[in-house]
Chains A and B, each alone.
Chain A
Amino acid sequence: MEQEKSRDAGGAPGRKTGEAPPPAEAWTALSHLLSGILLFGGIGWAVDALFHLRGFVVAGLLIGAAASMYLIYLRYVKS
């Protein structure tokens, strides 16, 4: 067991914190994208609904999408 562990110490890619291993990256990236759009779209929708405004939901969706993409860039492309 110990030997197994020590042999695999080199096998584990030195990933940055919070970074998923390659095959799962796509799913995590998709999840980030979804989260951003949902979160900021939801905030925009809430602002519209509370203050009887229009347009914040669209702005929120766009901001969310852009922020998610930047986050994906930070996590998986830059590092």
Chain B
Amino acid sequence: MTTMATAPAPGFESPGVEDFQLPPIFGPVTKPVLELVLAAIIVVVLFRLAVRKPQLVPGKMQFMGESFHGIVRNSIAKDMIGKAFLGYVPFLTALFAFILVNNLFGIIPFIQFPTFAHPGVPYALALVVWVVYTWVGIRHHGLGGYIRISTWPPDVPWWVRIILTPIEFLSNIILRPVTLSLRLFGNMFAGHLLLLLFILGGEYMLFTADSILLKILSPFAFLMGIVFTFFEAFIQVVQAYIFVMLTASYIGTVLADDH
């Protein structure tokens, strides 16, 4: 990661992991910590505005709130979970909104740091998801039933099962939260690094480098930075969506009944 720029000009330090270590603002509070609080406030305020005076024919805010809620409710929860989906809609919607806002902080001017480029909260949220779907599975099937549907491929000889069951156990019970969190963290981390590279690189080319050629070429670096900002916006939305969709799918999987 630290050597992404293929031929750094003399004196150029390509951005690396150390750029993600942000200095504390006061006490132990760093920028991501404030972002987490801000994200929660933004989400709550927007949703409260949406239901300030609920009407059958919605106003603009209410319409947007309903649309957001409706996407999670009808496109994610209903498809992934099935008949008992309604109880999980609040958790999934809150999760989607919280992750989405935190991700979008990566391209919002003056904030410009995706909170989940630090892995702590993705770990925590994935653990919460793991606890939720494990608990739902055990409640629905009992402990044995839950382990059976998660690790017991049907209709295979016992010696095949000896091989397959550990794989499913690892995949379904251990790796799910790991991949869930690392997918989110990795995308945010790499995306932010990419933007840093273009912007800091352009800055260096324009102000620091001696070469006139680099100064002339610097707008291209900034242009690429802008292009990738839009690309990142897309990635940030998609990653929030995937996190929630997979969460719903895990819940749906542990709720699926025998046939």
**Are the CB atoms of A34 and B175 closer together than 8 Å?**
yes
Residues of B near any A CB (own CB < 8 A):
78-86, 148-150, 152-156, 160, 163-164, 166-168, 170-172, 175-176, 179, 242, 245-246, 249-250, 252-253, 256-259
Q: What's the minimum C-beta distance from B25 to chain A, rounded to whole angstroms?
A: 37
Q: How far is the CA of A5 from the CA of B81 in the complex (A)?
A: 12
Q: What's the minimum C-beta distance from A2 to chain B, rounded to whole angstroms?
A: 10
By a CB distance below 8 angstroms, the chain A residues around B78 are 8, 11
Q: What's the minimum C-beta distance from B174 to chain A, rounded to whole angstroms?
A: 8
**Are the CB atoms of B256 and A16 closer together than 8 Å?**
yes
Q: How far is the CA of A28 from the CA of B150 in the complex (A)?
A: 12
Show 27 A/B contacts (Cβ-Cβ < 8 Å), sorted by A.
A8-B82, A8-B83, A11-B82, A12-B83, A13-B82, A15-B253, A17-B154, A17-B256, A19-B256, A20-B249, A24-B80, A24-B246, A27-B179, A27-B242, A27-B249, A31-B175, A32-B171, A34-B175, A34-B179, A36-B171, A38-B170, A63-B163, A67-B164, A70-B160, A71-B153, A71-B167, A75-B153
Q: How far is the CA of A19 from the CA of B256 in the complex (A)?
A: 8
By a CB distance below 8 angstroms, the chain A residues around B172 are 18, 31
Q: How far is the CA of A63 from the CA of B159 in the complex (A)?
A: 14
**Would you list the 7 A-B pairs with minimal beta carbon distance, nearest first?**
A12-B82, A24-B249, A35-B171, A17-B149, A35-B170, A36-B167, A9-B83
A19-B253, A68-B167, A71-B168 are known contacts; what are 12 more A-B pairs with Cβ within 8 Å?
A: A8-B78, A18-B149, A21-B249, A23-B245, A31-B171, A31-B179, A34-B179, A36-B167, A39-B166, A63-B163, A71-B167, A74-B154
Interface majority SS (helix, strand, loop, mixed), chain A: helix
Q: How far is the CA of A28 from the CA of B172 in the complex (A)?
A: 8
Interface core residue of B171, B179, B252 (most chain A CB under 10 Å): B171
Q: How far is the CA of A63 from the CA of B246 in the complex (A)?
A: 28
Residues of A near any B CB (own CB < 8 A):
1, 4-6, 8-9, 11-21, 23-24, 27-28, 31-32, 34-36, 38-39, 63-64, 67-68, 70-71, 74-75
By a CB distance below 8 angstroms, the chain B residues around A64 are 167
Interface majority SS (helix, strand, loop, mixed), chain B: helix
**Are the CB atoms of B154 and A27 closer together than 8 Å?**
no
By a CB distance below 8 angstroms, the chain B residues around A13 are 82
The residue that A20 contacts in the complex, of B83, B84, B252, with Cβ under 8 A, is: B252
By a CB distance below 8 angstroms, the chain B residues around A70 are 160, 164
Q: How far is the CA of A32 from the CA of B83 in the complex (A)?
A: 27
Q: How far is the CA of A64 from the CA of B80 in the complex (A)?
A: 29
Q: What's the minimum C-beta distance from A5 to chain B, rounded to whole angstroms?
A: 6
By a CB distance below 8 angstroms, the chain B residues around A17 are 148-149, 154, 256-259
